[in-house]
Amino acid sequence: MGHMIAGSWVADTDTLDSTSKEGHWQRTPSVIRSWIGRDVDLPAERDRYHLYVAWNCPWAHRVLLVRAILGLEDILPVSIVAPRRTEEGWVFEPSSGYADHLNGHDALHEVYARGQNDYDGRVTVPLLVDSKTGQLVSNESSDLMRMLPEAFGALSMSKIDLYPTERRAEIDDWNDRVHRGLNNGVYRAGFAQTQEAYDAAIEDVFSTLDALEQQIAGKDFVLGEALTEVDLRLFPTLARFDVAYHTAFKCTRKRLIDYPELWDYARRIYALPGVKSTVKFDIYRQGYFSPSPKRNPLGIVATAPDISWDQE
């Protein structure tokens, strides 16, 4: 997939995510973590910042959901990379509608190099850039989910509080459970290199789904009647589960539609204003079934499941 060393792109077939000697896949932490409004050189200003995302990335999807729910589309412009990575990593394809609207670069690693000429590490989305200076602001989705409401809440069309003070401990607890067991768990299953690592990951995935099925019963959202950050971290994984993770990542014990409460809940989130426009099921299939020497050497894309996300 490639990475950057001292600001230069190095194309290779390995990721900087590591695998333990027991075959457990481990995600590499994000390293760009500045904060609009807290850092003196990053004031909260309309149209100053630019967001880079990929439709098929669940971590970027979280941030797109916050942007949509809060009505920040006219305040925070976005550029979308092409759905499949190449030897250059995430790239732009203007002829297909995937263009860098800020600087017209051909690849995302050029955006990283422009903003930090000695950057070392992975080239990932989401990425927030200061369009005035080119500075890289953040490529950590959990930070961006809180940064955008904090920085642009006064300009938002919605007054939804996704991280209310009185519920922060509960939100943090569920965020951690969902991340470890499900958001990251499906990747641990899909990239496992031993049976033991796969079995452990699958147990985490489905014990988390089982717990969520019970938690959501009788509620509109995970924590009750109010939409919170937890829901926007959970939904991207649910949206990809049956169309991709179930088969491509071998999460085959159950499908999302086999969980009555979670299936109703997921479609309820999908029906919220702005959410449907952030969901691209066909792109998920193309992305997760892209050619991979270990997971899918022939690049055969599985057919889509015959289900409807629209509420009846």
* Strand positions, DSSP E, the chain: 3-5, 8-10, 18-19, 25-26, 49-53, 78-80, 127-130, 136-138
- If you ran DSSP here, which 8-state letter would residue 27 be given? P
Indicate if 245 belongs to the active site.
Answer: no
Q: Judge contact between 84 and 290, C-beta under 8 A.
A: yes
Task: Please report, for residues 36, 92, 132, the alpha-carbon distance to residue 103 in angstroms, rounded to integers and kept in the order given.
Answer: 21, 11, 11
Task: Please report, for residues 25, 100, 199, 260, 291, the alpha-carbon distance to residue 193 in angstroms, rounded to integers and kept in the order given.
Answer: 8, 36, 11, 32, 17
Report d(CA 242, CA 304) in Å as an integer. Answer: 9
One of 52, 112, 187, 245 is an active-site residue; which one? Answer: 187
54-90: b or e for each residue (b if 16 or more CB lie within 10 Å)?
bbbbbbbbbbbbbbbbbbbeebbebbbbbbbbeebbb
Report d(CA 312, CA 310) in Å as an integer. Answer: 6
Task: Please report, for residues 29, 127, 133, the alpha-carbon distance to residue 115 in angstroms, rounded to integers and kept in the order given.
Answer: 19, 11, 8
70: number of CA atoms within 13 Å, CB side?
Answer: 29
- Residue labelled with tokens 């481990």: 26
One of 49, 57, 112, 259 is an active-site residue; which one? Answer: 57
Indicate if 251 belongs to the active site.
Answer: no
Report d(CA 103, CA 6) in Å as an integer. Answer: 21
Catalytic residues: 57, 187
